[in-house]
Each structure stands twice: as C-alpha cells, then as structure tokens.
Homo-oligomer: A and B are copies of this chain.
Amino acid sequence: MTEKGSAAPVARTVLQQCLQARLQVKPADEQSEAQFVQIERGMVIYICFFKGATDDVLSKMVSTLLNLRLCESDSGKLMSVLELPGSLLIVPQATLGGKSKGRAMQYHNNISKEDGLRLYGAFVSLCEKELTAAAAASGGSGAEVTVKHGTYGNRQVLKLDTNGPYTHLMEF
C-alpha cells in the first residue's frame, strides 16, 4: 500500500509468510554445484528500490516490516516476525518495479544497479541487527532465527512452502 497523500514511493516490498524457503545464491558452474540458503518458519521479503531512494528510508522500512503483525503464532494470534520469532529471507526483486507499456514491462523507475546494491546490502544488515537484538532480548528461547538473503543481480531461484502466504504489499 502507498501511504495516502505521500509522494511517489521509493521502495516497494512484497511480504509472504513461509514454513520453509530456499533460495539459490550461486548458480552451478563447471567448478561447483549451485549454492543455496534456507530458512524455516518466517517471512520472505521481496524488495525493489526506485530512483530517489536513499539510506534515510531504510530505518523506517526495517522497523515497519519487522514489527507489523503479519505472522500467525501456533495459537493463531497475529504477531510480528520479531515476536514470533521467525527468520527472514530477503530477495532482491527488480521486477517489482515494472510498469506495463503495451505487452511489455518497463523498469525505467528502478534505481541504478550500484545504488540498489548498496541500499540492499544496508537493508540486509539492518534486518540482521534488529533480529539479533530481538532474539537477545527474548532471552534466547531456543528458537533459532536467522536472516538469509539473495545475491543482488542474480536470478532468484526460489522454493517456498507455506501454510498460507498471506501476501502483503508495503511501499515506502
């Protein structure tokens, strides 16, 4: 959703809940097999930055996404991914910035590759910091939560297993 009355968004995210998600971070080549990262229960964040996005937006984005009550506890109560606690899989997804023109999608509003890579890296770091802090504050209940993420610019080969993805759109 776009905040009402605000300027054009500088970032778009799509959020899905998962029981397990696995993402390729390095394709196979002649020397080695493909490499994957995997999370168990938690949230997948697909993310795309637009032109005009700066570091200023990251803190609000991370705070909002990680504290929104989007996840379902075992008892069916809605809670945030930090409260659950759940893991995060962060997937760069430039296609989210597409606008249709005729039968083709165009990506003119997407951020440059260099700026996108930098913001994506900073976003991932901030998520790691928040999740670690929340896990420490909860006294280490034993649930192992992690932040995993895709490689910016790569094809995001993804496998997702959900108990209902509860797909949400959040723009910033």
Contacts and interface: CB of A to CB of B under 8 A. Distances in A.
Contacts of A46: 165, 167
A77 interface: no
Nearest to A99: B1
Nearest to A95: B166
A8 to B, nearest CB: 10
Contacts of A170: 100
A55 interface: no
Count of chain copies: 2
Interface string A136-172: 0000000000000000000111111111111111100
Interface string A87-109: 00000010110111001110000
A70 interface: yes
Contact of A68 (B64, B100, B164, B169): B100
A26 interface: no
Contacts of A12: 169
B159 A155 contact: no
A98 B168 contact: yes
Given A98-B168, A105-B70, A168-B96, A162 B159 contact: yes
Given A46-B165, A157-B164, A160-B162, 16 more contacts: A1-B100, A14-B169, A64-B100, A67-B103, A68-B105, A69-B103, A70-B105, A93-B165, A93-B167, A95-B166, A96-B167, A96-B168, A98-B169, A156-B162, A158-B165, A160-B160
Interface of A: 1-2, 12, 14, 46, 64, 67-70, 78, 80, 93, 95-96, 98-100, 103-105, 155-170
